[in-house]
Amino acid sequence: MYQPVKIAPSLLSADFMRLGEEVAMIEAAGAGFVHIDVMDGHFVPNLTMGVPLLKSLKPATSLVCDVHLMIDNPLTEIPWFIEAGADLVNVHAEVLTEEELVRAVAMIHEAGCKAAVALKPKTPVSALAPVIADLDMALVMSVEPGFSGQSYIAGSDRRVAEAAALARAAGNEAMLIQVDGGIGEVTAPLVAAAGADVLVCGNAVFKAADPAAALQTVQAAA
């Protein structure tokens, strides 16, 4: 059945002095998720937001709180983010062994949350294999993680198609595919055609003159 692509605006590009208004604006504009980029200054060079922000955000929105953990030690931190209100937890495959990846997904599911595994642009899609049958979502990064406002890496749509094929082969037809980095009006149709279900948008939404209209333009383009 056809499901419209959902937009997940990334708060990293929002105005932190007006965060409440920004979240209300994306919700009114029809966003499906709110994407929270957690960075630790180790896995990526940047430091951003964490548990206290999620705690304040959760009761203020009915959007799916989509937590993207760009951190070295997700196994230690997962329970904190779940307790703070995460609906969906994204862990990076690069920081976990196969056994730890299985453990992370199980830990997220046992807490009643949705589990996703994120891949940096150079990580083979086959890194999803140990958990793909159980995943709610895979996150294909289309920029190197760390900063918003970067350009989409050409060919990322092929990785989306690869992830979709891997999920189908594992019998996980329900797995969503999220794409993150450099997504806007021009790149959204490429990744949507390759099978993306959820598009993260940072600058394309929050840095637009009319962010609500920009969100709807990207969604329509997809």
**Does the footprint of Zn ion cover residue 40 (CB under 5 A)?**
no
Residue 141: CA atoms inside 13 Å, Cβ hemisphere, count? Answer: 25
Indicate which residue of 15, 37, 72, 197 is catalytic: 37
In this structure, the dihedral spanned by the alpha carbons of residues 8, 14, 19 and 23, taken in order and rounded to 10 degrees, is -30
- Reply yes or no on whether 72 is catalytic: no
Q: Which of Zn ion, ligand DX5, none does 177 bind, CB closer than 5 to 8 A by kind?
A: none
Give yes or no: 40 in active site: no
Nearer to ligand DX5, 61 or 172 (CB): 61
CB of 171 to Zn ion, least distance (A): 28
Tell me the C-alpha distance between 42 and 79, whole Å.
Answer: 20
3-class secondary structure, 100: helix
Could you tell me the smallest distance in angstroms from the CB atom of residue 1 to Zn ion?
27
Which listed option, ligand DX5, Zn ion, none, makes contact with residue 181 (CB within 5 to 8 Å by class)?
ligand DX5
Place of tokens 């307790």: 83
31: Cβ–Cβ under 8 A, 6 or more apart, which residues?
6, 7, 8, 9, 63, 215
Of 6, 68, 120, 159, the residue at the interface with Zn ion (CB under 5 A) is 68
To ligand DX5, the closest distance from the beta carbon of 166 in angstroms equals: 22
37: contact with Zn ion by CB under 5 A:
yes
Interface residues with ligand DX5 (CB under 6 A)?
10, 12-13, 35, 37, 68, 143, 145-146, 148-150, 180-183, 200-204
Q: Does 66 bind Zn ion (CB under 5 A)?
A: no
Task: Bin 120: left if φ > 0, else alpha if -120 < ψ < 50, else beta.
Answer: beta
Selecting among 66, 157, 180, 197, the annotated active-site residue is 180
Partner whose footprint covers residue 148, from Zn ion, ligand DX5, none (CB < 5 to 8 Å by kind): ligand DX5
Sheet holding 6-9, edge to edge: 6-9, 198-201, 176-180, 137-141, 114-119, 88-92, 64-70, 33-39
Q: How far is the CB of 179 from ligand DX5 (least distance, A)?
A: 10
Specify the residue, 40 or 180, whose C-beta has the smaller distance to ligand DX5.
Answer: 180
Query: Which residue has its beta carbon closest to Zn ion?
Result: 68
Q: Provide the H-helix boundaries in the chain.
A: 19-29, 51-57, 74-84, 98-110, 156-169, 188-193, 203-206, 211-221
Distance CA 163, CA 165 (A): 5
Contacts to Zn ion by CB under 5 A: 37, 68, 180
Residues known to be catalytic: 37, 180
